[in-house]
Amino acid sequence: MKNYESKNFVNNEWLSTGSGSYLSILDKYTGEEIGKIPQASETQMESAIVGANAAFQITKKWSAGKRADMMRKLHTKLEEQKEKFINIIINEGGKPRSYATNEIDRCLTTLQLAYEEATRFGGEVVPMDFAAGAGKTAFTKRHPIGVIACITPFNFPLNLVMHKVAPALAVGCTCIIKPAPQAPMSCLAFAELMQEVGYPAGVINVLVCDIPVAEKLVRDNRVAKLSFTGSDKVGWYLKSICGKKKVTLELGGNASVIIDEDVDVEAISDLVAKGAYLYAGQICISTQRIFVHQAVYERFEKALIQSIQNLKVGNPQDGDTLVGPIIDAGHLGRIETWVNEAKNAGAIVLTGGKIASKEHNLFEPTLLTNTDATMKVSCEEVFGPVAVLEKFSTFEEAIAMNNDSKFGLQVGVFTNRLDHFKMAFEELEVGGVMINNIPGFRIDNMPYGGVKDSGLGREGLTYAMDEMTEGRLLIY
């Protein structure tokens, strides 16, 4: 790793010192230290806030053409260094190579969407030529709001940064990013690309920091918006302290799949298995609850267990690995505890159920049944390679089983009945319904977000651009 990847980035400067404490970044499979980053100080955060506001005075005046041109250059830089970023993500995030490659491809797509939308994004003509408005013309123009505070998780260490930074750059906002402590290096490496492209000092700032310094960023009135992706507990707390600024929260969930009685269950078992266990289930929309009609339950259970046992578990550098390491030993132990609690309460292990390797932070792909909605493996977000399989007798019952949750992000529904298709869309309490697909489906321009404890607002390029701007009305 280069030296700049082990420093914080504030106002186009790489800072090798901070509060005095350091964060060790480990390879998630080997346990080897791959970086040691200083925790940023409160003074450095203050400098970032001042610098980001100063930079906003520049970028808010840029033309749409200039914003697009700068992002095209950034896209080219990232494409040239694609393999480097893939390896950083594998090492710091433990992400299987195929999925890390997919992440960088998505980053490139998100950037491309951003520079294309920068030149199309605008306001609207407001109908007003009647009554007291007769003879008047009115239209709105979208104006960038200012500094965006971005707090991101480990599981997509660059693309979830991109979902905040790309729309900000597209509209002329500036960013202060607190990346995940487990995987900050890809974000820091991306900041270096922005420096190479020639973005002014303060347009992007990346600070690894502890909670009090992060809270300074969230509370500060000079910051216009908080965009947070992470746990529901932390997200709702940050919303409670952020004051009057805009807020977007992407908080995950316990996504379900509903499989109707008219489905070819053998044909979908591999897809459902991948949706539950890819990247060891460390995806906000991983399939965690699987509800199957009783008429096809036994066939599907048999097919799914075989599909799960065919998954390659191990070194994320191997091209055919789909289930790599858990992000750290603490989460590995938590997953083991939750599974054991479920077993002690009556859950039955159909496959897996234990740690595969403490040395490499591997947990076996695990499928449980005879669970209930009070068990943590069902009602909380496991964020690990654990799913529960249960049967239902009517489609209405399946919808109720899905809705019996504090979360509501996305759901997959496999059915060939039009009435069930329509019922699912009308009755499921989620942000998105995927018909004949797993809940883990996402492309980067769609409106993405949840209801209930799964979040507030929507991401997706143009939807985030709307949230990072305000309409101003002109009448003449």
Task: Based on the residue annotation, tell me whether 215 is a catalytic residue of this protein.
Answer: no
Amino acid at 105: D
Instruction: Give the rounded distance of the alpha carbon of 179 from its chain centre.
Output: 12
Distance CA 154, CA 34 (A): 15
The Cα–Cα gap between 41 and 179 comes to 15
Cβ proximity of 11 and 51 under 8 Å: yes
Helix (H, G, I), strand (E, B) or coil at 468: coil
- The torsion angles phi and psi of 257, rounded to 5 degrees, stand at -120, 135
Residue 94: how many other CB atoms lie within 10 Å: 30
In sequence order, the β-bridge partners of residue 140 are 473
Taking Cα atoms as reference points, which of 347, 268, 279 lies closest to residue 301? 268
242 as an active site residue: the answer is no
Q: Are 428 and 411 in contact (CB under 8 A)?
A: yes
Report helix, strand and coil shares of the chain as percent, to nearest 5: 40, 20, 35
Which of 117, 187, 284, 301 is an active site residue?
Answer: 284
| Helix, strand or coil, per DSSP, at residue 241 | helix
**Nearest CA-CA partner of 284 in 160, 371, 426:** 160
Q: How far is CA 433 from CA 57, 402, 411, 413, in A?
A: 41, 12, 5, 7
Residue 257 backbone class (left: φ over 0; alpha: ψ -120 to 50; beta: rest): beta
Catalytic residue among 250, 381, 390, 459: 250
Q: Which amino acids are annotated catalytic?
A: 250, 284
